[in-house]
Amino acid sequence: MHNKTIAELSRSLQQGDFSSEELTRHFLARIESLDGALNSFITVSAERALSQAKQADQRLAKGENGPLIGIPLAQKDIFCTDGVKTSCGSKMLDNFIAPYNATSVEKLNVAGTVMLGKTNMDEFAMGSSNETSFYGAVKNPWNTDTVPGGSSGGSAAAVAARLIPCATGTDTGGSIRQPAALCGITGLKPTYGRVSRYGMIAFASSLDQGGPLTRTAEDAAMLLGAMAGFDERDSTSIDTPVPDYCAELDRDLKGLKIGLPKEYFGEGLDSGIGDAVHGAMDEYKKMGAEIIDISLPNTHLAVPAYYVVAPAECSSNLSRFDGVRFGYRCENPKDLEDLYKRSRGEAFGAEVKRRIMIGAYVLSSGYYDAYYLKAQKVRRLISGDFKQAFEKVDVIMGPTSPTPAFKIGEKADDPITMYLSDIYTIAVNLAGLPGMSIPAGFANNMPAGLQIIGNYFAEAKLLNVAHKFQQVTDFHTKTPDAFK
């Protein structure tokens, strides 16, 4: 059962080949027996999952045919889940039981999904390797000596190891796409505002966006269809209709114009990753697509701009964690100042502290214009690059990550090198565009990801382009040997 896609599982459930309860027990057993090698889960909610599975079976027995009824999944531990711990991978929220559901969780519950648990992640989503989690590093199922990427590494590793059919993630600078690439699965970051951020613990409010991590583009279309939509509780949510993402999956690609940015193929790109991307271009040519060389001249400014904007917003968002209302509180504080200092000092990890301090600095009097305001101007330049490119091409393609998965600990003491892991993904968030990563081969025996970037609200186009590629290749069907 664990080798079936969501689409295949849905058909089997509708036909009565097995029940949602049987399916749920199967995946819970896999998590129990196999996740010790990965550390991909923070919380397993078995009792709740079995209750939801029984409810799904009742709906199926009544003849309901929703595509996600009875499908097991996991939620990244950044989404609030009523009555279940929501830790955000942190010591600060290790004792926090959310009193409500995030909108994405709510929507997926209504669709009939079964939540098996909450997946591990970098602390407060700050990291590119899933090594900053309070609960320990997540391991890549293709090689457990390597990282799965971050911050949605737990979700990506669990899907890649077939511990779950699908999971949610969040993407602030590549945190869905980069782990999807490193783990050999499909990950989609929607247009900013497409999926509600209500109940998703904020890191950088103008960049964060939730989305699906799945095995295939078809599965991603099914999951996104349930997650997307306007939410009046989220001021950044955009009120625009949600299309049927599955309806256009099989559209012919003849005449498709693919832009290949020269800036994505320079120094720092692993040759094996480059070969995988160029191999993918050959497949698209066979399907009738046209490859056009383009330039995104401000790409080199994306990382420095991001690491001003994101820390500035995180320093503001994380100020709510003060030891007063919820979360960790130090013992026996002398006064209010001592409570603030020691609660934050004891509960925040090194990377979170680093970003809070950078953010506070760039927002401070005398430095705001020099750093934060300038970074926002650069952001406009980056958006302008994409706008010009989409006047010539339908989609933009390139590598998702410059290298395959690296060894655990290899970059832990070098933040700058770690930040460069997201060099190809960050610009998409700064511009608010949709982007996705799909498996495109292997480099050094580890998965290589192809990134596909679209214009605003072009998720259906991205899913169509990805699905057609997956119909003529089998990279997305590969499973790590230890988890078959």
Q: Which residues are catalytic?
A: 76, 151, 175
| Cβ-count burial 183-213 (b if 16+ within 10 Å, e if not) | bbbbbbbbbbbbbbbbbbbbbbebbbbbbbb
Here the tokens at position 241 are 């209709």
CA gap 119, 301 in Å, rounded? 32
Here the tokens at position 14 are 């509708």
| C-beta of residue 183 within 8 angstroms of C-beta of residue 89 | no
The edge-to-edge listing of strands for the beta sheet with 446-453 is 41-44, 114-119, 72-76, 167-170, 210-214, 186-189, 435-443, 446-453, 395-399, 257-261, 290-294
| C-beta of residue 426 within 8 angstroms of C-beta of residue 174 | yes
Pairing relationship of beta strands 72-76 and 290-294 according to DSSP bridges: unpaired
CA gap 78, 123 in Å, rounded? 9
Backbone angles phi, psi at 155, to 5 degrees: -60, -45
**Residue in this structure with the two tokens 């994306």, named with its chain if needed:** 302
Contacts of 188 (CB under 8 A, 6+ apart): 176, 211, 212, 220, 224, 434, 435, 436, 459, 462, 463
DSSP 348-372: S-HHHHHHHHHHHHHTSTTTIIIII
| C-beta of residue 6 within 8 angstroms of C-beta of residue 166 | yes
